[in-house]
Amino acid sequence: MTGVASKCNYSCVMTPDTPGTARPGGRTARNTAAVLQATLDELGEHGYAALTVERVAARSGVHKATVYRRWGGADGLVAAALEWSASRTWEPERTGSLYTDLLALARAVLHGFTEAPEGAVSAASVAAAFASPRVAEALRVFMVDRHERAAVVVAEAAARGEVPEGTDPAQVVRSAIAPVYYRLFVSREPVAPADLRLAARVTADAAARGAFVPGG
Amino acid sequence: MTGVASKCNYSCVMTPDTPGTARPGGRTARNTAAVLQATLDELGEHGYAALTVERVAARSGVHKATVYRRWGGADGLVAAALEWSASRTWEPERTGSLYTDLLALARAVLHGFTEAPEGAVSAASVAAAFASPRVAEALRVFMVDRHERAAVVVAEAAARGEVPEGTDPAQVVRSAIAPVYYRLFVSREPVAPADLRLAARVTADAAARGAFVPGG
DNA sequence: TCGCTATTGCGACAACAGTCGCATCAAGTG
DNA sequence: CACTTGATGCGACTGTTGTCGCAATAGCGA
């Protein structure tokens, strides 16, 4: 085992077990942890464009051929990192009203895509999804999970009578956060606090008026 | 001049002049046209992930080193193709009401990112913008231009009295089309006609109620 | 403790991307 | 028509990416 030892900068808690494989024992698990940690560190420091299997291999101390065998390439590393991120439980902030909940949600999205370390992984996933069907699928699963978790704020708004029964929670969530993604990745404009407030306000008002009830 | 001749599949109208350069004469212009056409064809057939300078060079009949010298790489080719697309005039469809105008706009966005050949260039630009500041800047300029052109439908709605004076046209446009981009590139969900209608409806209603007037 | 075998380490290898120096060519000029 | 010069063609070269076969290692069960 030559090579440089892993330089762990942040979020050093990495699940050391890999259940489901034929031999989930010590060394394989250690390699998995080291490689994923190195992937996170590399993404955080240099971004997805500079993510190289060779660098990850050198940093983790795992041989290059092993990384290729188990993850297939840079996209496989990103997909694995994203799946690991998805395993971390997440729950939306509760603030008392739908508007403020959606605003907090939009802020969380902005934060989660711009701040390290999750920001690097998330942005890398969006970028890698263009080139890798595997990453695209992992990203889709991740986003569906986030939609379902965020739906709670809509359900509670319905329970409070803020929005009518039958409101589609996922559509409300999408409407509130889509402008953030649009500015971040498509139009490449800066995202101002006023933009977040506008999206949350428009969405909350529309939801209150029943715009997100499928039938009516 | 060895190599394979350009195989032009679609949109063979390519601006043959390159004003501003020191020597915009015949051969340089022909090379520019051949290379950009080959780039479009490659993007349309194989996508950005498979876009290679060598393939473009072989297809266009221009030497590899020349392509590297003049465009710098695959990202430069995409940026040039995007700038060429931006030079094509575009104008939003006018249907008589803000809701139907926004719906047509959302449909045009979906079409423009999924149908060939513009779809391939547009999607490639979004993908390449993650790795190339040059493409990111070209994309930003392109989107700003589209926002300005699309703003006409909001101005006309204001003239008809559908929305209050002072409504920010660009914000209305963003609100209507952001969910399309979100589904296409982030959540990777299918985009249904009902989704377009919902986004247009929510945005048009909010605009009618004055939600997009900055001060009030 | 011992043997089986999945997994890994290792280095050589092929394929590819990108660069460089130089000879050649053609567009613009008088 | 000749001359100048910027752009191009050409091929060789370097560095990087990804693959392969084989020997060694270390889980895991007996």
Which chain B residue shows the shortest CA-CA distance from A188?
Answer: B140
Token digits for B83?
A: 């700038």
Instruction: Give the contacts of A183 (CB within 8 A, at least 6 positions apart).
Output: A189, A190, A191, A195, B174
Q: What is the pLDDT of residues A134-193, one digit of tens each?
A: 999 999 999 999 999 999 999 999 999 999 999 999 999 999 999 999 999 999 999 999
Q: Which of B51, B125, B186, B191 is the best residue to mutate to test the A interface, defined by the most A CB atoms within 10 Å of its own CB? A: B186
User: In this structure, what token pair is assigned to residue B162?
Assistant: 């559908």
pLDDT at A19 > cutoff 60: no
| C-alpha count within 13 angstroms, C-beta hemisphere, residue B156 | 16
Q: How far is the CA of A5 from the C1' of D14 (A)?
A: 29
Question: Given an 8 Å threshold on Cβ–Cβ distance, is B199 in contact with A175?
Answer: yes
Whether the per-residue pLDDT at A21 is higher than 90: the answer is no
Alpha carbon distance A139, B188 (integer Å):
8
Whether CB of A61 is under 7 Å from strand C: the answer is yes
**Tell me: the pLDDT tens digits for B133-143?**
999 999 999 99
User: Can you give the pLDDT at residue B9?
Assistant: 41
Bases on strand C under 7 Å from any protein CB: 6-12, 16-21, 26-28
pLDDT in tens, A36-70: 999 999 999 898 999 999 999 999 999 999 999 99
List the A66 CA – C8 C1' distance (angstroms). 7
User: Nearest nucleotide to A63 by CA–C1' distance?
Assistant: C9
- Angle, vertex CA B190, rays to CA A159 and CA A85, nearest 5: 70
CA distances from B153 to A106, A130, A183, B199, B212 (A): 28, 32, 21, 16, 14
Could you give the CA distance from residue A66 to residue A156 in angstroms, rounded to a whole number?
Answer: 48
Q: Which residues of A touch B (CB under 8 A)?
A: 48-49, 123, 126-127, 129-131, 136-137, 139-140, 143-144, 147, 171, 174-175, 177-179, 181-183, 185-189, 198-199, 201-203, 205-206, 209, 211-212
Residue B183 pLDDT grade (very low, low, confident, very high; cuts 50, 70, 90): very high
Per-residue pLDDT tens digits for B82-103: 998 888 889 999 999 999 999 9
Pair A99, A136: CB distance under 8 Å: no
pLDDT surpassing 50 at residue A16 = no
d(CA B145, CA A21): 52
- Which of B63, B80, B196 is CA-nearest to residue B135? B80
Residue A65's pLDDT is 96
Please name which of A141, A134, A129, A146 lies closest in space to residue A48, comparing C-alpha atoms.
A129
Residue pLDDT, tens place only, B122-176: 999 999 999 999 999 999 999 999 999 999 999 999 999 999 999 999 999 999 9
What band does B23 get if pLDDT is binned at 50, 70 and 90? Answer: low
The count of CB pairs under 8 A between chains A and B is 116
CA distances from A16 to A34, A56, A84, A90, A200 (A): 9, 18, 11, 20, 39
pLDDT bracket for residue B24 (50, 70, 90): low
> Could you tell me the distance in Å between the CA of residue B142 and the C1' of nucleotide D8?
31
| pLDDT value at residue B18 | 41
pLDDT band at residue B26 under the 50/70/90 scheme = confident
